Amino acid sequence: MPPDLDLETLSMTEIIRLQTLLSEALARRFETSATVCFTDIVGSTAYFARFGDARGRQLQQLHVDALERALRAHGGRLVDTAGDGAVSIFADATQAALAMCALQHDLNAANLHRERDHQVALRVGLHHGRVLTDGVQVTGDVMNLCARIAASAEPGQIRLSHDCFRELDNAQRLRCRPLGEVPLKGAGRAMALLSLHWLDRSRFPLAVRVRESGERIDIPLQDIVSFGRLDIIEGMPANDVVLTLPDEVATRQISRWHFELRRRIGGYTLRSVSTNPTVVDGRVLQRGDEAPALPGSVVMLSGVMTLDLLGPPGPDDASGDATMVVA
């Protein structure tokens, strides 16, 4: 602003004209289209409370290091980090989608070498629109909306707006599934969103069915999923999936921690963590042994429980999980 410009002496009309000129200058010099990505660590507050600041900061650094590798590989730029969240920006939506998938793959590989209590899971949001940027700072409604899209995601999920979807190439569009109208906290409205699948969902069971009881149990979306009969230890969940039978004597033949599903790019691997018998598709596993666990696999535990691993709906299922390929 010129030093001799006295706003107190300007009329309302002159101030409105000045405001218009400034808005036009901002748009002309700094406005551009961009894809914004917001990544957020799931459960970080509870993690800090349980394990302390040092371990919490290590988890945050794991997130930032993996994000920076993905940004370098796909032409993105880190804009800001704030505790358990980070904002990055891309000129190209397809590269943004590829980067976020690479980020999830990177953390998935890291999690397989980390204890179950120290896994890192991200919620990711993508949105495309007009932003103001001087090459360092980025501002605009796109930023706020992107954060709310990320906050709506499930752990390990990438969600995106239709504005972002329309900017993707066909290969990335084919990986998207519609979620319908999703309420966005703080936005005061729902928004049509999509999920970008960074894994081939057809190779991953979504649930288990206990043959003896008919119970169906969803498999949590995380890299290591523990199964056993123990539900609580020291006030914390002992297993992600608790296995019980109507017969208490039979239930006690299932180990407190019996097996884990470990998520890899090509599907789950089942690892036995029990000395009690575990049989996967007819193969007997000793403690520490691993076997593929795909949709349709059958797992027998201690001779008393049989689990059917249930896959996603088939192509003829009218569940609404159709691929979005139109703009």
pLDDT at 326 over 60: no
Residues 189 and 215 in one domain: no
Q: pLDDT digit string (tens) for 4-51?
A: 677 777 888 877 888 888 777 777 777 788 999 999 999 999 999 999
Higher pLDDT, 78 or 6: 78
Whether 17 is in a domain gets the answer no
153, 181, 200 - which closes a domain: 200
So what's the pLDDT on residue 181? 95
Residues 41 and 177 in one domain: yes
Residues 167 and 71 in one domain: yes
Q: pLDDT digit string (tens) for 105-156?
A: 999 999 988 888 899 999 999 999 998 877 778 878 899 999 999 999 999 9
Residues 153 and 113 in one domain: yes
Residues 111 and 78 in one domain: yes
* Structural contact between residues 158 and 172, judged by C-beta atoms closer than 8 angstroms: no
Whether 4 is in a domain gets the answer no
149, 165, 200 - which closes a domain: 200
So what's the pLDDT on residue 319? 44
Q: Tell me, what CATH number does 54's domain have?
A: 3.30.70.1230
So what's the pLDDT on residue 11? 80
Whether 318 is in a domain gets the answer no
Q: Can you give the C-alpha Rg of the chain in angstroms?
A: 24
Residues 88 and 187 in one domain: yes
Q: How confident is the model at residue 322 (pLDDT cuts 50, 70, 90)?
A: very low
Distances (CA, A) of 326 to 3, 109, 169, 177: 53, 33, 11, 12
* Structural contact between residues 300 and 237, judged by C-beta atoms closer than 8 angstroms: no
Report residue 127 CA to chain centroid gap: 15
Q: How confident is the model at residue 318 (pLDDT cuts 50, 70, 90)?
A: very low
So what's the pLDDT on residue 2? 62
Residues 179 and 229 in one domain: no
List residues bridging with 263 in a β-sheet: 268
So what's the pLDDT on residue 320? 44
Whether 291 is in a domain gets the answer yes
Residue closest to 245 by CA, chosen among 255, 258, 237, 254? 254
Whether 163 is in a domain gets the answer yes
Residue closest to 201 by CA, chosen among 118, 283, 294? 294
Residue closest to 72 by CA, chosen among 85, 90, 60? 90
Q: How confident is the model at residue 251 (pLDDT cuts 50, 70, 90)?
A: very high
In three-state secondary structure terms, 192 is: strand
Q: Tell me, what CATH number does 219's domain have?
A: 2.60.200.20
Q: pLDDT digit string (tens) for 215-232?
A: 999 999 889 999 999 999
pLDDT at 213 over 90: yes
pLDDT at 203 over 50: yes
So what's the pLDDT on residue 8? 78
So what's the pLDDT on residue 3? 59
- Residue partners of 123: CB distance under 8 A and separation at least 6: 39, 40, 42, 150, 151, 152, 153, 154, 155, 157, 159
Residues 249 and 132 in one domain: no
Q: What are phi and psi of 72, to 5 degrees?
A: -60, -40
| Averaged pLDDT for residues 158-174 | 96
Whether 219 is in a domain gets the answer yes
Whether 320 is in a domain gets the answer no
Residues 152 and 80 in one domain: yes
Residues 106 and 160 in one domain: yes
| Averaged pLDDT for residues 49-67 | 93
180, 200, 220 - which closes a domain: 200
Residues 50 and 165 in one domain: yes
Residues 193 and 237 in one domain: no
Range of the domain at 214: 205-310
So what's the pLDDT on residue 1? 54
* Structural contact between residues 90 and 110, judged by C-beta atoms closer than 8 angstroms: no
In the predicted model, what is the mean pLDDT of the chain? 90
Whether 212 is in a domain gets the answer yes
So what's the pLDDT on residue 275? 95
Domains: count for the chain: 2
pLDDT at 313 over 80: no
pLDDT at 281 over 90: yes
